[in-house]
Structure 1
Amino acid sequence: MMQKKKLLDIVRDKIRVKHYSISTERTYLYWIKYYILFHNKKHPIEMEKAEIELFLTYLATQKRVSPTTQNQAFSAILFLYKEVLGVDTKEWNIQALRAQERKHIPVVLTRDEVKKVIENLDGIYNLIVSLMYGCGLRMNEALNLRIKDIDFGFDKVYIWDSKSLKDRTLPLPQKLKQRLLAQVQIVSELHKKDLADGYGTVYMPYALEKKFPTAKHETKWQFLFPMKNISQDPRSKVFRRHHIHPATLGRNIKVAVQKARIHKRVTSHTFRHSYATHLLQNGFIQELLGHKSVETTMIYTPCRGGDEQIEGVQFA
């Protein structure tokens, strides 16, 4: 007799069918489980608007979570009802006490500070951060680059399925072109070794692995910034080489900032903020940043109007 699947297993399957990231999968499963436990393991199909509002209000008033965290929990619960249980929640008009939103002014580095941080980064981390600043990339956009995404003939960088599932192209910083060519060669040689050792496959997005079953072995699909070691994919359990972990890049940036003796709160996203602020001296950059809303880009406008001028994309 076939055993009935547990609810969280069904949620996990639905998330993977939707091709959500592993981090989104973990976040959604966490909040859905928390929601169920909060209501003493009552099945979600037996709960409606009141239970959702009670849980979200609890997060805001008792747990004092941030607005972002509360929104994550809300998104996970909506996914559960809409995608898994097939319940239309639009008519519920869910109203809960919202976590107090704080407006954060983006931390921006001067060009000299950017240069100092990059100079204190070694090897591949130096190249990644230089590219992030030179193109205004989000950290995940940089780490998810494949060899095929760098067009050396037309000097373009292609960003696929980024935030809001938007694609865009960016000018390739000329000062990085030779270093990136060298990085492609390094990855190509590493890929040959992996293939010889019985590995060499790479994670393929969406349904491409089924549509192009041999593509996962091809050099052009390999990550531009791969990990040093082979690791096991948490979903497929296949051993292969993934891209550098975000936490590893974050640690290297933190150490570099300390060495540069910069007393600002610097994260990987700070280089995107700095890129935006520096370019605003020459004009409007919503398209380059890939912002969905003009209001998102406008958070940088108070910094506009400096005396320095730049030509194109400049970086240390």
Structure 2
Amino acid sequence: MPNAPDQSPKLLDQVRQTCRRRQYSYHREKAYVRWAERFACFHDPTHPRRLNEDDIRAFLGHLASERNVAASTQNQALNALLFLYEQVLGEELGSVGPIDRADEPRRLPTVLSREEVRRLFGAMSTGPNRLIAHLLYGSGLRLSEALRLRVKELDVGTIRLHVRDGKGGTDRTTVLPERLHGPLRRHLKTVKAQHEADCADGVGGVSLPDAIVEKYPNAKTEWRWQYVFPSTTLSEDPRSGAVRRHHRSDSAVQRAVKKAAEATRFPSVMASWCWRGTRCRRGDAQYN
């Protein structure tokens, strides 16, 4: 890939700043910055401000015909470029018009029987990854939603679980299976001890939305704001540079489910309901 034009670093900084001002997630910020950079490189040395809808259509067509990207990837690129022009550069775009669309394969949904689900869970080692998998199945969470759960969002007393800022930026309440109450209490006891040790070492803060940080400066170390499934290691926050404990990696859960699927001799795709980040549909009406 050729080097980005001279203006790109400044442009990419503008994309980052706008994403943070609108309180987008870090993953979304990275994706939008990446697409802005690829678009600028594709039309190098012309700055995006001097490009138009035809140039956007040419880039999207290139992704489909030359790069063979998935339809969802092409849609993400389109959304990122609309954001770049309308929110970052402040320019209204007309209709992009018809584009060379990437093929969107039609696949039958993967459904596991009750016995297959029991075998899959039985093959997973006891620990946070298995507990997360149970939450995905029993509460209908997406993987990203389970990983971002905070302590204050678990309401064991009323067997409810509150999902904040889910897909589409919406909130919702869902069930918390009764059989998970005991395991969750034991898990949180361990997590709280780890959090207290982190606080003693001066690294007990957690990332929070900017509005919360400004209104409640001490909230980052409060127990109620901590992640239910924290990472096993400390890391540097890419935005603030602070060393803290982020939530558990999605790849760790994905590997655990894939390993269990292989152990039970399920094709890897049979476990996709749990580890691709989409919400699963419960197949066991008696789970609660």
Length-normalised TM-score, structure 2? 0.91
Alignment of 1:228-239 (within 5 A): 228-239=232-243
Match of 2:189 in 1: 185
Q: CA deviation at 1:270?
A: 7.1
Describe the SS at the equivalent of 1:92: coil
What SS does structure 1 have at the residue aligned with 2:281? helix
Q: 1:108 aligns with which of 107, 111, 119?
A: 111
- 1:104 CA displacement: 2.2
Look up the SS of the partner of 1:132 in the other structure. Answer: helix
Read off the aligned partner of 1:165 and give its amino acid letter: G
Unaligned runs of 5+ in 2: 1-6
Give the CA deviation at 1:81.
0.3
> Residue 4 of structure 2 corresponds to which residue in structure 1?
none
* 1:24-64 superposed Cα distances (whole Å, 9 cap, x missing partner): 11111111111111112311111101111111111111112
Q: Say which SS state the counterpart of residue 247 (structure 2) adopts.
A: coil
- How far apart are residue 205 of structure 1 and its match? 2.4
Looking at structure 1, the residues matched to 19 and 220 of structure 2 have their Cα atoms a distance apart, in angstroms, of: 22
How many Å separate the matches in 2 of 1:191 and 1:271? Answer: 27
Aligned residue number for residue 69 of structure 1? 73
The equivalent residue for 1:58 is 62
Residue aligned with 1:97, SS:
coil
Deviation at 1:272, TM superposition (A): 6.4
Cα distance between partner residues in 2 of 1:180 and 1:271: 21
Name the structure 2 match of 1:226.
230
Partners of 2:279 and 2:84 in 1: CA distance:
35
Shift of 1:260: 1.5
Counterpart in 2 of 1:154?
Answer: 158
Distance in 2 between the 1:208 and 1:121 partners?
A: 37
Q: How far apart, in 1, do the equivalents of 2:46 and 2:266 lie? A: 51
Give runs of aligned pairs for residues 28-177 of structure 1, distance below 5 A.
Answer: 28-89=32-93, 91-122=94-125, 123-177=127-181
Q: Distance in 1 between matches of 2:242 and 2:276?
A: 34
Does structure 2 conserve the Cα–Cα contact (< 8 Å) formed by 1:114 and 1:271?
no
- AA partner of residue 45 (structure 1): R
The residue type equivalent to 2:137 in the other structure is Y
Q: Deviations over 1:258-288 (max 9, x none)?
A: 1111125123257966534x27xxxxxxxxx
Contact 2:142 2:278 in 1 (8 A): yes
Gaps of at least 5 residues in structure 1 are 280-309
The count of corresponding residues between Structure 1 and Structure 2 is 278
Contact kept in structure 2, 1:56 and 1:97, CA below 8 Å = yes
CA contact 1:135–1:171 (8 Å) conserved in 2: yes
> 1:43 and 1:187 mapped to 2: Cα distance?
49
2-structure distance, mates of 1:181, 1:272: 26
SS in 2 for 1:125: helix
* Distance of 1:127 and 1:254 partners within structure 2: 15
* Whole-angstrom CA distance in 1 between matches of 2:278 and 2:92: 38
SS of 2:173 mapped into structure 1 = strand
Distance in 2 between residues matched to 1:10 and 1:272, nearest whole Å: 31
User: Are 1:275 and 2:272 matched, yes or no?
Assistant: no
For residues 138-162 of structure 1, the C-alpha deviation after alignment (integer angstroms, 9 at most, x for no partner) is: 0011111111111122111110110
Name the structure 2 match of 1:213: 217
Alpha-carbon distance between aligned partners in 2 of 1:142 and 1:205, rounded to the nearest angstrom? 18
Q: Is residue 198 of structure 1 aligned with residue 185 of structure 2?
A: no
Runs of 4+ with >6 A deviation = 270-273
- Identical aligned residues as a percent: 37
Structure 2: distance between partners of 1:239 and 1:174: 36
Paired AA for residue 141 in structure 1:
E
Of stretches 138-147 and 57-66 in structure 1, the one that deviates more from structure 2 is: 57-66
Cα distance in 1 for residues equivalent to 2:277 and 2:221: 33
CA distance in 2, matches of 1:11, 1:270: 27
The answer as to whether partners of 1:227 and 1:242 remain within 8 angstroms in 2 is yes
Structure 1 residues 137 and 209: CA distance shift in structure 2, 3 A: same
245, 251, 256: which one pairs with 1:247? Answer: 251
**Would the alpha carbon gap of residues 264 and 240 (structure 1) be closer, same or farther in structure 2, given more than 3 Å must change?**
closer
Relative distance call for 1:190 and 1:253 in structure 2 (3 A) is: same
Hey, what does 1:301 align to over in structure 2?
none
Mark the CA change 1:190 to 1:227 in structure 2 (over 3 Å): closer, same or farther: same
CA-CA distance at 1:252 after TM superposition: 1.1
